[in-house]
Amino acid sequence: MKIATFSTHHYDEQFLNEYNTGHDITFMKVPLNEQTALLTKGFDAVCVFVNDVINKAVLTVLADNGVQLVVLRCAGFNNVDIKAARELGISVVRVPAYSPEAVAEHAMALILTLNRKTHKAYNRIREGNFSLERLMGFNLHNRKAAVIGTGSIGKAFCKILSGFGCNIAAFDIHLDPALQQSGVVYGTLEETLADADIVSLHCPLLESTHHLINADTLKLFKPGAMLINTSRGGLVHTSDVIEGLKSGQLGSLGLDVYEQEANLFFRDFSEDIIQDDLIARLISFPNVLITSHQGFFTKEAMEQIAVISFKNIDAFVANEELVNKVV
């Protein structure tokens, strides 16, 4: 199969080449969007990532060019117009669970760094400053942690929290009996957020979860609580969260995703003026920690993304059941 792979970096090429099962792959650094969709002419499939745009206009071009398959090398598919793909007869497959532990562990890394301020301590020591002033954190043991979404990543995160001795509250439309047996207490969103010291988001971006964290839900937070988002940027209303930080209602914020990340993440702007005023404001807060969508980025996860992507492609070529089919 001839595959156009968009938004690629050297690490994508490394793992996709290593686990290629015999397909003709062309790597493109540019993202897939309405401006680049014409590049798919002559290809049978496209392989895309989280910030590629697969809307109706793009899918129409893909269909006209003979593209039959969209291969998402990620779990989320909120960037795909599912209805349009179905109408155009284009199949869409994804990697539903490449390494839940990778993202869950990164969420914990954000928590520990924000809480114990190890990033600040590191910089201080390098400057010869051995003071402990303003570096005080809190014990995670016996603290309430609210987990919003208990799919594979949320479940892995609950296990990590349990190891720290946290009291775990969870909100999800689907209750997990195994988590309940382990001591996780499910409740309404209001009950789950109430009195939580840490709130961590692990749910997909849907119409029902868009801007789940906003001015109204922030009022339900315990004053000074920590918010962590390693899921999708659109779960958080950024300007409302900035107001929460300014007022002190939100004590600290850890983000691995950002609503407008498609214009920023995975690229180097160190010599440029960042034009996004919201993220510039967030970066200015001393109690905000932002990473560039690296939660998934482990060797094990990259291997699984490549392996499952090619399994999806091979199944399509062989006209077998697409177990990871979105459309």
Q: Return d(Cα 189, Cα 108) in angstroms, integer.
A: 21
Kindly indicate whether the domain formed by 100-290 is annotated with CATH number 3.40.50.720: yes
Mean pLDDT along residues 162-191: 98
| Contacts of residue 242, Cβ cutoff 8 Å, sequence gap at least 6 | 278, 281, 282
- What token pair was written down for 251? 């004590």
Question: What pLDDT sits at residue 270?
Answer: 95
Q: pLDDT band at 11, cuts 50/70/90? A: very high
Residue extents of the structural domains in the chain: 2-98+299-317, 100-290
In CATH terms, the fold of domain 2-98+299-317 is Rossmann fold (3.40.50)
In CATH terms, are 2-98+299-317 and 100-290 the same topology? yes
Q: Of these residues, 261, 300, 303, 321, which one is catalytic?
A: 261
* Average pLDDT, integer, range 49-77: 96
pLDDT for residue 227? 99
**Candidate list 73, 94, 232, 259, residue with the active-site label:** 232
116: annotated active-site residue: no
Q: Can you give the pLDDT at residue 91?
A: 98
Residues in CB range of 293: below 8 A, 6 or more apart: 50, 256, 257, 261, 265, 266
Q: What is the pLDDT of residues 264-309, one digit of tens each?
A: 999 999 999 999 999 999 999 999 999 999 999 999 999 999 999 9
Active site residue 207: no
